Amino acid sequence: MPIKKVKGGWRWGKSGKIYRTKAGAIRQMRAAYASGYKKK
């Protein structure tokens, strides 16, 4: 899933937390992949 610029900050994917910085969204993305997330 891509990291997108949304109103209020950055978000990874279609749902989830909105981060003020792009780095926060990247951190969430890395954590998801580390815990076993795989593309469909």
C-alpha torsion angle, residues 16, 17, 22, 24 (rounded to 10): -110
Residues 26, 1 contacting (CB under 8 angstroms): no
Domain locations in the chain?
A: 3-34
Lowest mean pLDDT among 2-6, 11-15, 19-23, 29-33: 11-15
Encode pLDDT of 10-28 as tens digits. Answer: 999 888 899 999 999 999 9
6: pLDDT strictly greater than 90? yes
Q: What single DSSP character describes residue 21?
A: S
